[in-house]
Amino acid sequence: MLSVNLAILIPFLAAILVPFLYAKVSRKHIGWFVLIVPVVLFVSLARYIPSVAGGETYLSTIAWIPSYGIHFTTYLDGLSIIFGLLITGIGSLVIIYSIYYLSAEESLGHFYIYLLLFMGAMLGVVFSDNLMVFYAFWELTSISSFLLIAFWYHRKRSRYGAKKALLTTVTGGIAMLTSFIMIYVMTGTMSIREIISTIDYGHALFIPAMLLLLLGAFTKSAQFPFHIWLPDAMEAPTPISAYLHSATMVKAGIYLVARFTPIFGSHETWFWLVSSVGIITLFWGSFNAVRQTDLKALLAYSTISQLGLIMTLFGIGSAALSMGAGEETVIYTQATFAALFHLVNHSTFKGALFMVIGIVNHGAGTRDIRRLGGLMSLMPISFTIALIGSFSMAGLPPFNGFLSKEMFFQAVVSVSQSGIFSLHVSKVLFPVVAWVASVFTFIYCMIIVFKTFLGPYQPEKLDHEAHEAPAGMLISPIILAVLVVGIFFFPNVLGDYLLRPAMASILPSIELEGMIEPISAWHGFNPALWMTLGVIAVGTLMYLSIRRWKGIYSLLPENWTLDNLYNNSLIQMEKISNRITSFYMTGYLRSYSIYIFLFFIAAVGGTLLFTGAYAFDFAGDAPISVYEIVLVLVMVAAALAIPLAKSRVNAVLLNGALGYSMALFFVVFRAPDLALTQLVVETVSTALFLLCFYFLPKWKKEETPRRTKRTNLFISIAVGIIFVLVALSVRGGKLFDTISGYFENAYELAGGKNIVNAILGDFRAFDTMLEVIVLFIGGLSVYTLIKLKSTKEEQNLEDQ
């Protein structure tokens, strides 16, 4: 079987090969070559299912930075394999769909490179066991998703949505990194598996680490109030929305919560934060979805709502870790099982719906609900898929969403009757909010089906005559629709082979035998069924009377939105940054030098003054020779003469005298290589100065204000004094043993007879390599700016 390490690397290797294939094959067929990658990965991961279902896990480690405990460690268990199969399975269907959806005129090479980068990054997230490697892949998902969302970069809204998604998710990622560092401080290990058994629940950093970790999860999975980036990200092409925003990227935050539940889940704060944020997100997403007139925006808010539902279930399920054996533990355990079940179900029906919306846009030329209607007879296959997906999302039988929605209702009802709630009002809050949100979910699902495919056909409002999509574009949504129905009739195949093994990863300290009942469509007339019947009845009435009550949305002030808060924050930050920049970016080198030297004086001088670092001892110094005294006097005279020079040539020559005197110092101190280097550098710089000054206009001495002279004098003297004090302190106060002795063995350690060359080429090889890379990137950038001409498309982009 294919190793997990290789499974992560394959998409990145394929991304490198895409440009070469793109040059050899037709643009339209490049997708078929890319399709091989997720298909092979999906089949390879599927071969692990029987062994993982039997309780086996797979661990692989490649040493990377042993001194800091950072290794490329992958861990395959029940939880990670679910996400791995979703990433590769949905990825395969998205690539098939994109082959027919995207035009050959698009930049398909870039599209598939970005897609493969994202796929590899997501696989790295779900399979990584090391915190730092996890974080590296986490941020790579943000970067690659930014590139995918901004794929149509000539559109202003696409650029805006990509930037918004990047700022939100990267901010959360930095918070998560801070949490990881705190966890490392608490446990001394970077391994997630080892952290579970070594975490100190009473540590002062435990709660801060938990809060920062959840901030990263909430931003990534579009939880309230960080959900605002997801609707704007819908400016991406439909295949990207179907992949990132239904099955993969937004599920990364869900995965983070699930993976770290064994670490933080036993704390009551985790339960309240995860479940409360989830239930608020569930309601707010479903409430706002109803008001949307763009089908893709509607699906965006529906995704937010469904992610809130899953997050709520994981929050409720975490309480099982703090309970002993008993009926309440069973309730919480079943909530976690429902979360995993709905996570898979959501990927199937939401992926199908995104693809259908793309087909509608492709076939009718618009996604505007106000312009659509009557498409059922013209697009019968798309209508059938939309019906299956929407009814599943609404929680209706015979579709898989009904099963997990029933389990959700049962979980919120059961948890409200448990002892975890101290107030009576809080006991009814979860079931009521969940039920109200489900009513709105039912309404927007009916809008997708009936407003789009039923009612009068309005050809005059369409860009062209509506038509069904080509067969190739229908393959992927049909497969997902079949899964929606198939899982309803055979849910325990999924439950036994994938969901139950994942439970052991999330709740490792609980004996799960007998805790989870087989999934069934019928549990009698229980509260969950009555809630579902109530959702259908009330939802139908509200849908039929939507014009009468939809005015409530106009009561919400348009200025009082989180989007406006985000936009205004950016505007204010830009204004403040412009003011700060205008303050110190005066355009005068003198001003910049003053800022640099003043900071140096404050930082270094303050350190010497307040820390007692200033200390020196002349007892062990060698005697000062006559040659050294003469050289010092020459250098002092040259330095004092420079400000008094009457011409530029005299100033340059005096500056050269300083440099040549320094070279003579190296000769006196028996350092011929440094003396030669100093002589060469000083000769070249003096010649260049003279050459440049030759072309400058005649020097006219200007009267400098006394205040400026005093400032210059103070800064010059202060910087000189601090340099002398630092030199004396370094010479006189040795806090550590010198490391020069180590480098004296350069020939034995590095095979170099020249110590300086050995240090630069071997001991500092990594640093030198990075410096060379920086210079290379800078040179490449300059070359690009000089050679490349702006295209007409880029000129239009600037005009926008």
Give the DSSP per-residue string, 552-608.
GGGGS-TTSSHHHHHHHHHHHHHHHHHHHHHHH--S-HHHHHHHHHHHHIIIIIHHH
Single out the residue in 735, 765, 795 at which a domain terminates: 735
Q: What is the pLDDT of residue 178?
A: 96
Structure tokens at 666: 């190296």
pLDDT of 328 > 80? The answer is no
Q: Looking up tokens 């019968």, which residue turns up?
A: 380
Q: What is the pLDDT of residue 124?
A: 95
Structure tokens at 61: 């480690």
- Domain total for the chain? 2
Report yes or no on 130 lying in a domain: no
pLDDT of 424 > 60? The answer is no
Whole-angstrom Cα distance, residue 213 to residue 532?
34
Torsion of CA 17, 19, 20, 24, to 10 degrees: 130
Spatial contact of 301 and 490, defined as CB atoms under 8 Å apart:
no
Report yes or no on 413 lying in a domain: yes
Q: Do residue 536 and residue 594 come from a single domain? A: no
Q: Which residues make Cβ contacts (< 8 Å) with residue 494, sequence separation at least 6?
A: 341, 344, 487
Question: Could you read off the pLDDT of 368-413 as tens digits, one per residue?
Answer: 999 999 999 999 999 999 999 999 999 999 999 999 999 999 999 9
Closest of 365, 396, 377 to residue 455, by C-alpha: 377
Whole-angstrom Cα distance, residue 480 to residue 498?
18
Single out the residue in 709, 735, 761 at which a domain terminates: 735
Question: Could you read off the pLDDT of 166-208 as tens digits, one per residue?
Answer: 999 999 999 999 999 999 999 999 999 999 988 888 899 999 9
Report yes or no on 137 lying in a domain: no
| pTM of structure | 0.82
Neighbouring CB atoms inside 10 A of 661's CB total 21
Q: Do residue 395 and residue 522 come from a single domain? A: yes
Whole-angstrom Cα distance, residue 92 to residue 119?
10
Q: What are phi and psi of 483, to 5 degrees?
A: -65, -40
Q: Do residue 538 and residue 593 come from a single domain? A: no
Whole-angstrom Cα distance, residue 558 to residue 761?
62
Q: Do residue 376 and residue 518 come from a single domain? A: yes
Question: Could you read off the pLDDT of 96-148 as tens digits, one per residue?
Answer: 999 999 988 888 989 999 999 999 999 999 999 999 999 999 999 999 999 99
Q: Do residue 344 and residue 291 come from a single domain? A: yes
Q: Highest mean pLDDT: which of 36-40, 422-426, 666-670?
A: 36-40
Report yes or no on 647 lying in a domain: yes
Structure tokens at 302: 């529906």
Whole-angstrom Cα distance, residue 58 to residue 129?
11
Question: Could you read off the pLDDT of 218-237 as tens digits, one per residue?
Answer: 999 999 999 999 999 998 99
Question: Could you read off the pLDDT of 653-694 as tens digits, one per residue?
Answer: 888 888 899 898 888 888 888 888 889 988 998 888 888 877
Spatial contact of 233 and 245, defined as CB atoms under 8 Å apart:
yes
Tell me the one-letter amino acid at 43: V
Q: Do residue 538 and residue 664 come from a single domain? A: no
Q: Do residue 424 and residue 300 come from a single domain? A: yes
Whole-angstrom Cα distance, residue 761 to residue 765?
5
Q: What is the pLDDT of residue 800?
A: 47
Report yes or no on 461 lying in a domain: yes
Query: In three state form, how does the secondary structure of 658-708 look?
Result: HHHHHHHHHHHCCCHHHHHHHHHHHHHHHHHHHHHHHCCCCCCCCCCCHHH
Count Cβ neighbours within 10 Å for each residue of 240-252 and write b for 16 or more, e otherwise: bbbbbbbbbbbbb
Upstream peptide bond of 239 is cis (omega within 30 degrees of 0): no
Q: Do residue 540 and residue 624 come from a single domain? A: no
pLDDT of 733 > 80? The answer is no
Whole-angstrom Cα distance, residue 188 to residue 198?
9
User: How would you class 589 by CB atoms within 10 Å of its CB: exposed for 0-12, middle for 13-18, buried for 19 or more?
Assistant: exposed
User: Could you tell me the sign of the dihedral formed by the alpha carbons of 757, 762, 765, 767, in that order?
Assistant: negative
Q: Do residue 702 and residue 646 come from a single domain? A: yes
Q: Do residue 471 and residue 369 come from a single domain? A: yes
What residue numbers bound the domain in which 459 lies?
Answer: 276-319+328-349+362-493+514-544
Single out the residue in 735, 755, 779 at which a domain terminates: 735
Q: What is the pLDDT of residue 589?
A: 84
Closest of 143, 299, 149, 165 to residue 237, by C-alpha: 149
Report yes or no on 247 lying in a domain: no
Q: What is the pLDDT of residue 68?
A: 78
Q: Which residues make Cβ contacts (< 8 Å) with residue 479, sequence separation at least 6?
A: 93
Rg (CA), the chain: 33
Whole-angstrom Cα distance, residue 170 to residue 139?
7
Q: What is the pLDDT of residue 325?
A: 58
56 — pLDDT class (breaks 50, 70, 90): very high
What is the number of helices (H) and of strands (E) in the chain?
Answer: 36, 2
Q: What is the pLDDT of residue 790?
A: 52
Instruction: Give the mean pLDDT of 622-632.
Output: 84
Closest of 313, 495, 486 to residue 405, by C-alpha: 313
Structure tokens at 35: 């399709």
Question: Could you read off the pLDDT of 546-579 as tens digits, one per residue?
Answer: 999 988 888 877 778 888 899 999 999 999 999 9
Q: Do residue 390 and residue 521 come from a single domain? A: yes
Whole-angstrom Cα distance, residue 414 to residue 335?
10
Closest of 276, 251, 268, 244 to residue 80, by C-alpha: 251
**Which secondary structure element, helix H or strand E, spans residue 179, and what is its range?**
helix 156-187
Q: Average model confidence (pLDDT) for the chain? A: 88
Q: What are phi and psi of 212, to 5 degrees?
A: -70, -35
With both helix axes pointing from N to C terminus, report the angle between 78-101 and 327-364 in degrees, rounded to the nearest 10.
Answer: 10
Closest of 13, 234, 283 to residue 123, by C-alpha: 13
Q: Do residue 372 and residue 520 come from a single domain? A: yes
User: Could you tell me the sign of the dihedral formed by the alpha carbons of 310, 315, 316, 319, in that order?
Assistant: positive
Tell me the one-letter amino acid at 161: G
Report yes or no on 550 lying in a domain: no
3-state secondary structure of 467: coil
Report yes or no on 792 lying in a domain: no
**Which secondary structure element, helix H or strand E, spans residue 65, and what is its range?**
strand 58-65
